[in-house]
Amino acid sequence: MSVADLAPLEGRRAIVTGAAGGLGKAFAVACADAGAIVSGLDKDPGIEALGDELGDRAGLNEVADLADAQAVRSFVDAAAERMGGLDILVNNAGVVVKTAPLSDPWEKAVEDFDAVVDVNFRGSYLVGRAAIPHLVRAGGGDIVNITTDHIHTCGYPVAVDHSDAPDCRWAGTRRPPLGNASFDLYDSSKWALKGLTNVWARGLAEHGVRVNSFGMGTTDTPMIRAHLEAKGVAPPPGMLAAGTVAALLVELLAEGAEGRTGDSVQIWPGHPAELPPVSLDGELAMRSLAELH
């Protein structure tokens, strides 16, 4: 077994947002276990303990508000300096707020917009724009924007064969691309993040920067459990494990410079937990890039 097999991200430097817990922490730990030096950013003070867990793979871990442009830029610059550069950005930080367009008071609608969009879209945009010069300076790298199965389902844009996923709740019908009526802000913020993925993939390809979105169905994290508890709903059977999802992120990053870009990578509960082949989004993006050159 080669060093690349044991530590496929050896020598790479990563930033993971929302890394204090849940999927973000799982992503940070998996990248460090794969050989990367990892810096984490989160509004949760628990981020300061991440360094202890990462050990000699720890970069800079700080508390910051993702909506604060100056704080974001200062952190990214300081993390890149601490690590000696930057090769990977995982835009993971996200929040879920239940909304009701027909009944929410106006004040709640405005507050909810700020709470969700400031993190899910504005924050990801700011961290990405701060990171891009460092990635280009390093000669290339990866941006992975964490989205959701609400925008890339097992029925959209291409219907997935359910012969190996009979336990999927959508096995008997074609699932549309949305959550439900209480996700107007969450879903739209993730669609916006997918839009950034598409444009950044095209604009940064000549600099060796791959940009992909990575979404997953219900994953067992504190955020999901809190959301389900607020709805009075029990956790569904078959939730994805955070460690499993994080291992697939490492596989995606390990594809390297010759790997996919502009892709919408997606996994769902009830389906095989494996890195899927390039989807329609990725095929179209890479075909377009090939035609440009």
- CATH number of the domain to which 173 belongs: 3.40.50.720
Q: How far apart are CA 249 and CA 214, in angstroms?
A: 8
Q: What is the DSSP string of 157-172?
A: SSPPP-TT-TTSTTTT
CA distances to 66, 155, 157 from 280, rounded to whole Å, are 31, 13, 8
* CA 2, 90, 71, 32 torsion-angle sign: negative
User: Can you give the length of the chain in residues?
Assistant: 293
pLDDT of residue 160: 94
Query: How many structural domains are present in the chain?
Result: 1
Which range has the worst mean pLDDT, 2-6, 201-205, 287-291?
A: 2-6
Residue 114: domain span: 3-292
Region 117-130: mean pLDDT is 98
Statement: residue 3 has pLDDT above 50: no
pLDDT at 273 over 80: yes
Axis crossing angle, helix 69-83 with helix 124-137, rounded to the nearest 10: 30
Confidence of residue 73 (pLDDT cuts 50, 70, 90): very high
Measure the CA–CA gap between 178 and 150, rounded to whole angstroms.
4
Q: In the predicted model, is pLDDT for residue 2 greater than 60? A: no
